Amino acid sequence: MTPPLVSRRAVLVGGAGLAGLGIGAATVGLTREPDVAPGSGTLPFYGARQSGITTPPTAHAQYIGLDLVDPADVPTLQGVLNLWTQDAARLTQAQPSLSDTEPELATLAGNLTATVGVGDRIFRAPALTRLRPSWLQPLPSFSIDRLDPRWGQTDLLLSLASDDPVVLAHATRMLTASVRRSVRVRWVQRGFRNSPGMTTGTMRNLFGQVDGTVQPASDTYDNLLWDDGAEQSWMADGTSLVLRRISMNMDTWEAIDRRGRELSMGRTLDTGAPLTGTDEFDDPVFSATRGGIPVIPASSHIARAHRRHDREQFLRRAYNYDDPPEPGSADTSNSGLLFAAYQRNPVTQYVPVQQRLADHDDLNTWTTPIGSAVYAMLPGATESRPLGASLFDAAGRGSGGAPQK
Amino acid sequence: MTPPLVSRRAVLVGGAGLAGLGIGAATVGLTREPDVAPGSGTLPFYGARQSGITTPPTAHAQYIGLDLVDPADVPTLQGVLNLWTQDAARLTQAQPSLSDTEPELATLAGNLTATVGVGDRIFRAPALTRLRPSWLQPLPSFSIDRLDPRWGQTDLLLSLASDDPVVLAHATRMLTASVRRSVRVRWVQRGFRNSPGMTTGTMRNLFGQVDGTVQPASDTYDNLLWDDGAEQSWMADGTSLVLRRISMNMDTWEAIDRRGRELSMGRTLDTGAPLTGTDEFDDPVFSATRGGIPVIPASSHIARAHRRHDREQFLRRAYNYDDPPEPGSADTSNSGLLFAAYQRNPVTQYVPVQQRLADHDDLNTWTTPIGSAVYAMLPGATESRPLGASLFDAAGRGSGGAPQK
């Protein structure tokens, strides 16, 4: 029946995650011991699969959407990916980038990851047309969407994450300034969780809810997360990302009482346990009733989001955002969630769940999707094969394209 | 002659700062031990002087500029300050605010401080006119200024700082939502340093420079920082804040070579030592020459900024900002410094230095002040006397004004 669900953190913390978290027999003192402070480690850049997807979420993330100046210019795309590979391989290891202009800001990595994806438009280039994954297309239009093109689809996604905001600012600068002649930054979406070492467990969003409890078990990643190359061989070990910017209306949320909030979610606010349980990771019992009334309303978020098939699972890696209200607006907040869902195929895994939530989800009263984009997240890079190598190989270009001038 | 200058951190770390930093015999492990992680402590809210000024700078800060809906409405001003006192006293101690709508987000403080100041306009109210400190006025216009009214003077300043971004978002929400009928948020300026525990020592700005080396010694605070009540007795134990938003042009800065940057600053980029020294805290020797040429150019930032009189000192507590470029702009960055200077009297302490820098400072080539405001930072609150009590006492209103309805 339903495979057991575990928290992603519980999975990650089991093994290699320890090194990534920089946690060992660490004693914090006043002397400089940056290698032992929570969040001060490094994560690998090279590997069959990109870091920043199943590696532990860091405190800060920055999603940068960029458009190619000429989306049909495949050599330039290749040059950008070569440059990003060269520089991210260094910055993630706490080394200055090749032409680093502020090398003093590169002495820490704070578990920096740089994860790169491509949007559907790059596949309009004749050399790439036949290489587009069939699922790499705009999501269907959902009735709840109020999409602002300002947060819409771009040609490239550079997703940076670090436990340190100075590291993130520096990496952003190095990786965007070096390619400024080839791409234009269309948007930057900045998110955060708690600072390193502050708390453990599943994050909370700005509604106060535990957010991200239900995750696929790590032993399903080879099936549900990582592409196996069956449709597009170049995508093997890649994945897809659906990035949704979800505005959360603090005013109206705060106007309802605690019980109303918990019923809309189907979970308690304090522990995040389903209303039929006592622990966050208890399986919800949707059939349970009290006085003939379902304990977890059928219209609640978890009842609606709960998968109908094993296929309807994806890895969630959300961050809070809390930007200043737009100048001149009467809004009292500009807060929400950068909802990131990773899965092998968004059409079969993500869309059915999102469609169900769009049809009805009590939480829709207070949440509004205002941005949406889908990316093919590239397979990992190695020292001899930069990001995108398998794509350019498949296009007959080889992976040795000259770096951008 | 010149009194010895020491770093603020060196002073703070000497004593009570230890508790504030949350550093003890701490071992970081995978179990939840929030009280021992760097940055997870609490700082006092009540006291003769407000926290958040001489307490150790946290990783994140948020300056919130607010205008009273009716600037002449003194009872409402008093109500706002009463509410902020009540709620900040709780939130800073990791307790939910009085009507906290997301109490689960209040279980951490991350060294949260809430520090409040008032702008000159509130003193136009007849009851307060004679109570305006003479220095509480707009700064003179400097030739280098390109001030955007978007970052200009407001009636109130709520300065929040925490080592945790979720704490900061929650505190911002609680402290602004509760007063939304009385005040309007005009701007929010968000800044950051390294995450807790990542590094020690003076911060670096996004030019890569060590920033904030020269600070008044803590034994001068009673003279240079805290008001003694001589001019306005209600201001005793208060201070002033000059908040300048300084845009830093990454493109042009990165176009010059390392030597050119160091000469413009008068310090090396790696250690921050003056060009005549080897250690960050070495006193610069402005008279030193090499081949007849000053080692530290007379036009360099530190030569121009160096005080001509003992009075020309102020406590600097800067944060980096790195916002997304404005939508539609061709800028490749929107970065800079939230420069905060605290001193008893900005006219005699800050302005002479700023005037000298405006007349000439090599760094002006790459930096532009785009925001400026001056605040009277209130004396501290106690359990029986909320923020502003001495002001309202002096105005004959007493401190027991009814909280805002």
Tens digit of pLDDT for each residue in B259-294? 999 999 999 999 999 999 999 999 999 999 999 999
For chains A and B, CB pairs below 8 A equal: 209
| pLDDT for position B31 | 37
Q: Report the C-alpha gap between B159 and B88 in whole angstroms.
A: 11
| Distance in Å, alpha carbon of B134 to nearest chain A alpha carbon | 32
A294-311 confidence digits (pLDDT tens): 999 999 999 999 999 999
How confident is the model over A213-242, as a mean pLDDT? 97
Is A35 an 8 Å CB contact of chain B?
A: no
| pLDDT for position B36 | 56
| pLDDT for position B2 | 39
Q: Which of residues 246-305 of B touch A (CB under 8 A)?
A: 250-251, 253-254, 269-270
**pLDDT over 70 for what percent of chain B?**
89
| Residue B30 pLDDT exceeds 60 | no
| Residue B10 pLDDT exceeds 70 | no
| pLDDT for position A38 | 85
Look at B3 and A177; give whichever has higher pLDDT: A177
| pLDDT for position B265 | 97
Residues of B with Cβ-Cβ distance to A177 under 8 angstroms: 250-251, 254, 332-333
Of the ranges A83-97, A386-400, B24-38, the best mean pLDDT one: A83-97
A86-95 confidence digits (pLDDT tens): 999 999 999 9
**Residues of A with catalytic function:** 211
Could you please report the per-residue DSSP string of B68-116? ESSTT-HHHHHHHHHHHHHHHHHHTTT---TT-S-GGGGS--SS-EEEE
Of B108, B196, B198, the CB nearest to A108: B198
- pTM attached to this predicted model: 0.90
| C-beta of residue A63 within 8 angstroms of C-beta of residue A191 | yes
Is A190 an 8 Å CB contact of chain B?
A: yes
Q: Which of B100, B120, B211, B362 is flagged as catalytic?
A: B211
Look at A8 and A106; give whichever has higher pLDDT: A106
Give Rg (Cα) of chain A: 21
| Residue B353 pLDDT exceeds 60 | yes
Is B170 an 8 Å CB contact of chain A?
A: yes
Is B17 an 8 Å CB contact of chain A?
A: no
- Amino acid sitting at position A185: V
SS3 state of residue B274: strand
B1 confidence band (pLDDT: 50, 70, 90): very low
How confident is the model over A206-235, as a mean pLDDT? 97
- The DSSP element (H or E) to which A258 belongs, if any, is helix A258-265
| Residue A71 pLDDT exceeds 80 | yes
SS3 state of residue A86: helix
**pLDDT over 90 for what percent of chain A?**
85
Q: Give the contacts of A164 (CB within 8 A, at least 6 positions apart).
A: A39, A40, A59, A60, A108, A110, A112, B194, B195, B198
B37 confidence band (pLDDT: 50, 70, 90): confident
| pLDDT for position A249 | 97
Could you please report the per-residue DSSP string of A178-233? TTTTTEEEEEEEEEE-PPTTS--SS-B-TTS-B-------GGGHHHHTS--SSS-G
Q: Give the contacts of B260 (CB within 8 A, at least 6 positions apart).
A: none
| Residue A3 pLDDT exceeds 70 | no
| Residue A293 pLDDT exceeds 50 | yes
Is B164 an 8 Å CB contact of chain A?
A: yes
- Find, in chain B, the residue whose alpha carbon is nearest to that of A179: B332
How confident is the model over A396-404, as a mean pLDDT? 57
First to last CA, chain B: 55
- The DSSP element (H or E) to which B162 belongs, if any, is strand B156-162
| C-beta of residue B111 within 8 angstroms of C-beta of residue B22 | yes
| pLDDT for position A399 | 53
| pLDDT for position B35 | 47
A240 confidence band (pLDDT: 50, 70, 90): very high
Hunting for tokens 């330039």 — which residue is that? A76
Hunting for tokens 């505005």 — which residue is that? A247
Residues of A with Cβ-Cβ distance to B37 under 8 angstroms: 28, 38, 196-198
Of B38, B39, B104, the CB nearest to A208: B104
**pLDDT over 70 for what percent of chain A?**
89
Of A195, A208, A320, the CB nearest to B195: A195
What b/e sequence results for B338-362 when a residue is b if at least 16 CB atoms lie within 10 Å of its CB, and e otherwise? bbbbbbbbbbebbbebbebbbeebb
Supply angle C-alpha A289, A292, A294, rounded to 5: 40
| pLDDT for position A12 | 34
Q: Do A163 and B254 touch (CB under 8 A)?
A: no
B65-111 confidence digits (pLDDT tens): 999 999 889 999 999 999 999 999 999 999 999 999 999 999 999 99
B221-261 confidence digits (pLDDT tens): 999 999 999 999 999 999 999 999 999 999 999 999 999 99
DSSP conformation class of A318: -
Domain residue spans of chain B: 60-392
A177 confidence band (pLDDT: 50, 70, 90): very high
B329 confidence band (pLDDT: 50, 70, 90): confident
| Residue A4 pLDDT exceeds 60 | no
Give Rg (Cα) of chain B: 21
Q: Kindly report which listed range (A320-329, A340-349, B161-170) carries the lowest average pLDDT score.
A: A320-329
- Find, in chain B, the residue whose alpha carbon is nearest to that of A63: B324
Q: Report the C-alpha gap between B365 and B392 in whole angstroms.
A: 45
Average pLDDT score, chain A: 90
Is A164 an 8 Å CB contact of chain B?
A: yes
Q: Report the C-alpha gap between A309 and A166 in whole angstroms.
A: 42
Of A173, A188, A335, the CB nearest to B324: A188
| Residue A29 pLDDT exceeds 50 | no
Q: Do A196 and B197 touch (CB under 8 A)?
A: yes
Is B59 an 8 Å CB contact of chain A?
A: yes
| Residue A238 pLDDT exceeds 90 | yes
Q: Report the C-alpha gap between B257 and A149 in whole angstroms.
A: 39
| pLDDT for position B331 | 87
Tokens of A136: 């790499």
What b/e sequence results for B281-295 when a residue is b if at least 16 CB atoms lie within 10 Å of its CB, and e otherwise? beebebeeeeeeebb
Of the ranges A327-331, A384-388, B197-201, the best mean pLDDT one: A384-388
| pLDDT for position B17 | 32
**A340: β partners:** A243
Q: Report the C-alpha gap between B358 and B354 in whole angstroms.
A: 6
| C-beta of residue B97 within 8 angstroms of C-beta of residue B87 | yes
